[in-house]
Amino acid sequence: MRVLDASFVQGFMRMADDGWQQGWHERNGGNLSYRIRPEEIEQVKEELVPGVWTPIGTTVPALAGEYFLVTGSGKYFRNVMTRPEDSICIIELDEKGENYRICWGLTGGGRPTSELPSHLMNHEVKVLATGGKHRVIYHAHPANTIALTFVLPLTDEAFTRELWEMATECPVVFPSGIGVVPWMVPGGREIAVATSELMKQYDVAIWAHHGMFCSGEDFDLTFGLMHTVEKSAEILVKVLSMTSVKRQTILPDDFRRLAVDFKVTLPEKFLYEK
């Protein structure tokens, strides 16, 4: 089968285009990665041409030998639908999880996203934490979430609680909460370590003054998670634009009742009295 005809590639392209249409990917902003199943890579094997081994910039031994579909560095989400073979690539990791090689894509040259260390360290944490269920890591630059990083305290507690309060579905969609990474230089191992540490507890990490990372089982769930958090952030931006004092809101005991009916566990650290 041709790579571009495979359903995981079609799903990846659709998700990238959805993110572009949401306005979350100005220029080359954002990046996406998918951990390919063995049977999926088998389907497209004859089109793979391995390139040279290149250091990842970190070590991910739990992902040794795995294949990933990832966006290219400097490539535009806007072009993924029309020029997929130049915008995205399939990479293979070596037996130590130290190097990658491009096996398909990036036909005009280039390399995988500069956030590859963060993507792969997040994948590694999620493989270990979910028994391999999570396959998608998504980074975007959604404006409302970024705006809040100039206004709210940069704590997991503040972001989780304020965003839970903005829509009743939020604690059900991201019950474990949201982690916050303070401003750091992007693109390297340091921010990857900080983010993946948060991903041990959460499926969402916000990078102050930069954007958001989400992890999920498939394209629908991961896109839906980013969409839900950003929608909630949009409501909070609107509320804060009208008033600094909410007249009414969802209270800690309301969240506790919701948790029982929807069968989710909401950590008490987010249900503090204000």
Q: Which residues form the interface with ligand 13P (CB under 6 A)?
A: 28-31, 71, 73-74, 113-115, 139, 186
Q: How many residues bind Zn ion (CB under 5 A)?
A: 1
- H/E run at residue 189: helix 189-199
Q: Is 255 exposed, middle or buried (0-12, 13-18, 19+ CB in 10 A)?
A: buried
196 binds, among ligand 13P, Zn ion, none (CB under 5 to 8 A by kind): none
- Whether 207 and 196 have beta carbons less than 8 Å apart is answered as no
Contacts of 56 (CB under 8 A, 6+ apart): 93, 97, 98, 99, 100, 116, 117, 120
28 binds, among ligand 13P, Zn ion, none (CB under 5 to 8 A by kind): ligand 13P
CB nearer Zn ion, residue 53 or residue 183:
183
Radius of gyration of the chain (CA): 19
User: Residue 109 in 3-state DSSP?
Assistant: coil
- Under the phi-then-psi rule, with left for phi > 0, alpha for psi from -120 to 50, and beta for the rest, what region is 177? left
135 binds, among Zn ion, ligand 13P, none (CB under 5 to 8 A by kind): none
CB nearer Zn ion, residue 179 or residue 211:
211
Least distance between Zn ion and beta carbon 257 (Å): 38
- The residues carrying an active-site annotation are 115
Q: Which amino acid is at 9?
A: V
Give the x/- contact pattern for Zn ion in 190-229, rule: CB under 5 A: ---------------------x------------------
11 binds, among ligand 13P, Zn ion, none (CB under 5 to 8 A by kind): none
State the Cα–Cα distance between residues 213 and 173, nearest whole angstrom: 15
- H/E run at residue 228: helix 219-242
CB nearer ligand 13P, residue 165 or residue 230:
230
CB nearer Zn ion, residue 78 or residue 161:
78
Least distance between Zn ion and beta carbon 189 (Å): 16
Least distance between ligand 13P and beta carbon 83 (Å): 15
Residues lying near Zn ion in the complex (CB under 5 A): 211
